Amino acid sequence: MKKLNGKDFKAMLNSGAANLENCQNEINALNVFPVPDGDTGTNMSMTFSNGAKEANNCLSNDICDVAKALSKGLLMGARGNSGVITSQIFRGFSQSIEGKEEINPEEIAAAFENGTRVAYKAIMKPIEGTILTVIRESSWYAHHDFKAKPNITLEEYFLNLRQYMKESLDRTPDLLPVLKEANVVDSGGAGLLKIIDGFVLFLQGQPVKSNPLTVELNRSAQSVFENDEFGYCTEFIMRLNDKYIKIFDENRLKNKLAEIGESLVVVKDEDLVKVHVHTLTPGEALNLAQRYGEFVKLKIENMQEQHSELINSNEMNVKKKEKKEVGIIAVATGNGINKILNDLGVDEIISGGQTMNPSTQDFMDKISYLDNCEKVLIFPNNSNIMLAAKQAQGMFKDRVVEVINCTSIQGCLNALVLYDKNQSFEHNLEVLNKAAKNIKTIDVTYAVKETTYEGVEVKQGDYMAMGNKTILSAGQDLVNTTCKAIKMMADDDAEILTLITGEDSNEETNQQIIDYVELNTDLEVELVKGDIPVYYYLIGIE
């Protein structure tokens, strides 16, 4: 094949999306920290699947139109840093082939090089040893192959690109010591390679298909799906971790999901659990489930999309939103934290966090909903969500939208208590950004795999406390692990320790930690019941 048209490009995208979807758990496992929410593969798969869906909906078979639809779908569906960077790569690809009905291998090569440039520009401080390095090196080498062999076929070009990408990916641990110590390659680069693998397999006549669902719902369960409801139809299959296969309680998960949704089905079959729920907060549903295992299959569909006009008119009829100067959006999960954020003045909460990073579209929807506000502040509350928030910010040229440089729930709470409606927007912006960073944080969870990081040995199932972008402590005792981390992070200048509890913490361990802090430090302890999934404690020291 010498030229690529829109029809074949759609098929390539489907093969790439299916291959990434099938391998998402493999990509998730490359997470440097052995936490239960390493979800680069899930983020990239949902991002690319959304782009492929938009491309398939494009009625034109001109490749420029298909690429433009792909770019839009990726932009709106981008989740996590790797998802956003992937969207920028194909945005640059699309820009390079503007106006073309079909393209040859050299034009494809030039398009990927332009994608590299656009992706690098989108990142304020590009880090080598990541997906950026993988696309930069591989696209450069693949493009310069044309000097030696100008008449290569599409298959030859993508085979070369894949080979260079694999070599670049294998070098990422040499560029990032954190990857070398964890004995993994960059997860974002690995995800991009899976997409290109899918492209190659299509060109070789072996297009990849998504793996079929391994759990079938009975007819009575299926009939529940047909209810006319609005929100997000959220379906997933989860493979239980070894520790939960025997003790997994279906009713506990059902009861939790029932608090946030309807049309609920939870079916367990040996080590697999199938869940279906209609909810307005799909991210929270995934957060509730992911502690038990890894997602095998995942689908989220917006049932409100086709009824948006009706819904908007109904909302206007029910209540006219009061005009206000500043609206605040925050990303969080957990009933306790959500209530506290609302009490502190947050108008809209996007369900998500370290697990289930919100998409660009999620932010745009909330910004649009706050059309009664002259200005909007966004608290991403996670470093892996910052890029999606900033991408959404850039889509509103006629409104003032500011993203607070806040990468933790602890920082968000620390900042919001200082928000003063009587001060100017500019003053508050400065205060919030400073306060969000002026706090030390500790996150306590459990390890999903064995690893050694900066001298700290971690075994699967250990409790693990993280802070300062490192693992502070790990062990079989939750209180000891948490207190050891507090001792490492607390200094003489600190005055207050905020202990935010997770769903699986209990009063006994809470009190033991409080007793340790009061006995061994001069810190004043504030206990906050957060009901956060996945994490036992989020701790702030200021």
Q: What is the pLDDT along the chain (542 residues), one digit of tens a residue?
A: 889 999 999 999 999 999 999 998 889 888 776 665 557 888 899 999 999 999 999 999 999 999 999 999 999 988 888 999 999 999 999 999 999 999 999 999 999 999 999 999 988 788 899 999 999 999 999 999 887 888 899 999 999 999 999 999 999 999 988 888 888 899 999 999 999 999 999 999 999 998 754 333 333 333 333 334 456 778 888 888 887 887 888 888 888 888 888 777 777 777 888 887 888 777 778 878 877 888 877 777 766 554 444 445 444 444 567 788 999 999 998 888 999 999 999 999 998 877 678 889 999 999 999 999 999 999 999 988 999 999 999 899 888 999 999 999 999 999 999 999 999 999 999 999 999 999 999 999 988 888 887 778 888 889 999 998 889 999 999 999 999 999 999 888 889 999 999 988 899 999 999 999 999 999 999 999 988 888 999 999 99
Enumerate residues 6+ apart whose C-beta is below 8 A from 17: 45, 48, 49, 51, 52, 195, 198
**Is the domain of 417 the same as that of 462?**
no
**CATH code (residue 406):** 3.40.50.510
User: Considering 437, 456, 484, which residue would you say is the last residue of a domain?
Assistant: 437
Domain presence at residue 209? no
Nearest to 392 by CA among 351, 368, 361: 361
Domain presence at residue 214? no
- Summarize the chain as % helix, strand, coil (round to 5): 50, 20, 30
pLDDT of residue 307: 46
User: Considering 397, 419, 437, which residue would you say is the last residue of a domain?
Assistant: 437
**CATH code (residue 286):** 3.30.70
Distance CA 439, CA 214 (A): 45
**CATH code (residue 473):** 3.30.1180.10
Domain presence at residue 348? yes
Nearest to 256 by CA among 222, 292, 303, 301: 292
**Is the domain of 326 the same as that of 292?**
no
**Is the domain of 332 the same as that of 420?**
yes
Domain presence at residue 212? no
Strands 470-475 and 463-467, bridge-based pairing: antiparallel
**Is the domain of 119 the same as that of 71?**
yes
DSSP state letters, 287-326: HHHHTTEEEEEEEEEETTGGGHHHHHHHHHHH-PPPPEEE
**Is the domain of 290 the same as that of 352?**
no
Distance CA 534, CA 208 (A): 33
| Cβ-based neighbour number of residue 420 at 10 Å | 9
Domain presence at residue 310? no
Report the number of secondary-structure helices (H) and strands (E) in the chain: 21, 18
Q: For the chain, what is the domain count? A: 4
**Is the domain of 59 the same as that of 180?**
yes
**Is the domain of 333 the same as that of 287?**
no
* Torsion angle (degrees, nearest 10) of CA 246, 251, 253, 256: -150
**Is the domain of 124 the same as that of 245?**
no
Nearest to 329 by CA among 312, 315, 345: 345
**Is the domain of 379 the same as that of 505?**
no
User: Considering 270, 303, 336, which residue would you say is the last residue of a domain?
Assistant: 303
Domain presence at residue 309? no
Whether 73 contacts 50, CB under 8 Å: yes
Domain presence at residue 15? yes
- Supply the pTM of this predicted model: 0.77
**Is the domain of 452 the same as that of 494?**
yes
Domain interval for residue 351 = 319-437
Domain presence at residue 210? no
Distance CA 303, CA 281 (A): 13
**Is the domain of 388 the same as that of 452?**
no
Edge to edge, the sheet with strand 348-351 lists: 348-351, 324-332, 373-379, 400-403
**Is the domain of 453 the same as that of 418?**
no
